[in-house]
Chains A and B, each alone.
Chain A
Amino acid sequence: MSEVVQPASLALAVSRPKTAPFDWRRAVPLLLAAPLLIYMLVFYALPVVAMLLRSVNDPTWTLANYATLFDDVVFQKTFWITLNTSVIVTLGCLILGYPVAMGLVRSKTMAPFILVIILLPFWTSVLVRSYAWMVLLGRHGLVNEALMALGMIDRPIRILNTTLATQIAMIHILLPYMILPIANALRQIDPSLIRAASGLGSTPFMTFRQVILPLSMSGVAAGTLLTFVLALGFYITPAMVGGPRDITLSMLIAQQVDQLNWAYAATLSAILLATALAILAVARKLPGVGNAFRTSMR
C-alpha cells in the first residue's frame, strides 16, 4: 500500500534498475512540480523548521521548554479544552453530517441543491462566517429575538462568548469536511448490495445497520480525522465567539507571540503539530482508514 502514496520522486528512485541509464522522461513529473516544491521549501518548510527549532535552542540548546509543560497548569488546561472542543465538534459534525451525506447520495433531484447548500459556506471566509455567528448569537441577535418571540425565554440569554457558541460555530464551519468524505464513501456502495439485502429479507433499518453503515465506515473515519485535526488548530472562531476562559492551544500560541515569547509559542506549536501528526499516524494504521483517507482526498 505504501508505494501508492510515494511521491513521484521516490517511486522513480525505487523502480529504476541500477544498471539502466537514467531515463529523463521519467523525471518529467518531478521537473514539472519543481517550481512549487522549491517555493514550498523556501517559504514554508524552512520557516516552519526555523520556528520549531526555537523551542529547543532559544536562547541555548535545551529541552527545558518541554519539561516545564509538565507542571504548566495553563498549558494543561488549554490542551484539555482544545481536545474537548475538538471531540465535541467532531461528534456534532458526525451526527448532523451523516444524514445529510445520505440525502446527498440518495436523492437524484435534490443532490445539486444540497451540494450548493453545503459548499456555499465552504467557499466563504471563516472570518465572515464567524462574524455572522456573532450577529446571530449576540444579546440582541436573531437567536435570542426568536426565542423571546416564541416566549421560551423572558430576557436575552448569554450564548455569544460561551463554550456553546464556539461549538455551534465550529460545527457549522467544519461540517463540509465531514459530509463530503462520507458522501464519497456512500456513493461507492454498489446499489445492488442494498437491493440484495432487501431481497434477502433485510428491512431498511437492518440494511442500514448491517450494510450501509459498515461500508461507509471508511468515509466516517476520513471525515472524523479531517474534522478533528482541523478543529485542533482552530483559532479565529473560538477567539471571536468563544468564552473568555475557553482558551484553545492556538489562541494561547497567538497570545505568546503577541508577548514576543517566541520560545514558548514555538514549543506549543510543536505540541499542536505533534498531536495532529500522531492522530494521523495512528489512524493510518487502522485497517481501511488510510486507504479511505487517500481516496476521499482525491
Chain B
Amino acid sequence: MTGAGMNGAGSASGSGASVTLSNLEKTYDRANAAKAVDGVSLDIRSGEFLTMLGPSGSGKTTTLMMIAGFETPTAGDIAIDGKSVVAMPPYRRNIGMVFQNYALFPHLTVEENVGFPLKQRGVPKAERAKLVAEALELVHLPGYGARYPRQLSGGQQQRVAVARAVVFKPRLLLMDEPLGALDKQLRENLQLEMRRLHADLGITFIYVTHDQEEALTMSDRIAVMNDGKVAQVGSPEDLYDRPDNRFVAGFIGESNFLPAIVRGLEDDVVIAECEGTLIRALCPGRPTSGEKVTLTTRPERLRFTDGAWSGTTPQNRLSVTVTEAVFAGERCRYMLQAGDGTSIVLKEPSSTAIRRRAVGERAEIAWSVADTILV
C-alpha cells in the first residue's frame, strides 16, 4: 500500500496514530491577551474519530493548528505515537489535513492537486498516477482528474481536498470545519461519507466543527471546548445523556435548566426541591444539603402524564401551565411554566393519537430520574 519514500513521522503500521495533548497552551503575543488555548489535555486513541466541538473562539481550531504544526504552543506538549512533534515543521509531520476553504491549488488540475503530496515525497510518476486514481475513486470522483478546481462544485472541491489529504496514506487526518461552506443536504450526505471513509481507512480522524449535530452524527468521541479549555470529553451518548456541566448541557442539544435546592442524598441520586416539588437527579458529586443547584433535563424526555406514567423507571413529576404551543411538523413543542416562573420546554411526537394541549391549560409532566442530571 505505502509508496516509496513515504516514511515521515509515524507511518510504521497501517493503523491510525495516537495523539496525546498535554497541558497545551497558546497565547498570542499581545499584551494581556487571553489564552486562546488554556491547558488542553487529550488522549486521542489510535483509529478514533474525535471531534473538537465548540463555539467560535473556543480554541478548537488553534488546537488543531498546533497539532498540524502551523501554530507553536506557548506551553505543553503534543505527542504523536508517543513522540513529541512540537519542534517538527509541518511538512515533516506526515499528517493529512483538510482545510475549511479546501485550499486547493488553483493553478493545478485535480490530478495534480491530489498528486501534490506524493510528488513532495518523491513517489515515481507511474505509481503517483495509480495512487491518485485510487484516491479519486475513494471520494467518488473518478474521471475528474483533468479539471481545475474552479470547474468543480463546492462539494466536489471538498472531495478533492479529502482525496489529497489521504492519498499519501497518513495515519492521522485533521479536518477544520470541512463541511462548513456547503448546504445542509450536501453536508448530511458528506457526513455519512466521512464516517464511511473513516471506517475504510482505519486511521485517526481529528475533526473540528461548531455544529453539534455534525459532531453527534460522526464522532466516536467528542471533546467539547469552551474558553480554551476542554469542557467535557466523551461519546455522543455520554455528552447528551450525562453532561458534566451547564455549558455542555446547553451547547449540545436543547436543555431545560431547573433551579433547585438540595434536600437530601440517596446513593448516587440527589433529592432537590424545585418549585415546591421534590425532584430526583443523578449526580456524580456529593452536594451538601441546602446548596443551590441546577438540574437539567432534555425537552424530548418529558411527557404529559395527567397522573398516569407508562414508564417503568423511577420518575419525577411537576405541575405546569402551558404558556405556548407550537406545531412543528414531526414534533409539537410546548413552553410550560412551573410554579412561579421556571420555564420548561417539552417536545412530543406529533401523533394524531396524542391530545394537543391548549395555551393556559394546567397539566402534569413526568420524566425519568435517569434523564435528570445535576450540573
Contact = CB atoms under 8 A, between A and B. Distances in A.
A192 B101 contact: yes
Identify the interface centre among A197, A200, A215: most chain B CB within 10 Å of its CB.
A200
Interface in B343-362: none
A229 to B, nearest CB: 26
A193 B70 contact: no
Contacts of B73: none
Identify the interface centre among B69, B92, B116: most chain A CB within 10 Å of its CB.
B116
Given A192-B99, A192-B101, A206-B120, A199 B68 contact: yes
Q: In the complex, which range does the number of interface residues on chain B fall in? A: 20 to 34
A203 B101 CA distance: 22
B286 interface: no
Contact of B107 (A195, A196, A206, A214): A214
A190 interface: yes
Nearest to B99: A192
A198 interface: yes
Contacts of B92: 201
B121 interface: yes
Given A206-B120, A215-B106, A200 B97 contact: yes
B70 A198 contact: yes
A211 interface: yes
A256 interface: no
B148 to A, nearest CB: 12
A214 B70 CA distance: 23
B94 A201 contact: yes
A199 B91 contact: yes
Contacts of B334: none
Interface in B74-128: 89-95, 97, 99-101, 103, 105-107, 116-117, 119-121
Interface string B163-178: 0110010000000000
A203 B105 CA distance: 16
B103 A203 contact: no
Contacts of A210: 116, 119
Interface of A: 190, 192-193, 195-204, 206, 210-211, 214-215
Interface of B: 8, 68-70, 89-95, 97, 99-101, 103, 105-107, 116-117, 119-121, 164-165, 168
Given A198-B89, A199-B69, 13 more contacts: A192-B99, A192-B100, A196-B103, A196-B105, A197-B116, A198-B70, A199-B70, A199-B90, A200-B97, A201-B168, A203-B91, A204-B91, A210-B116
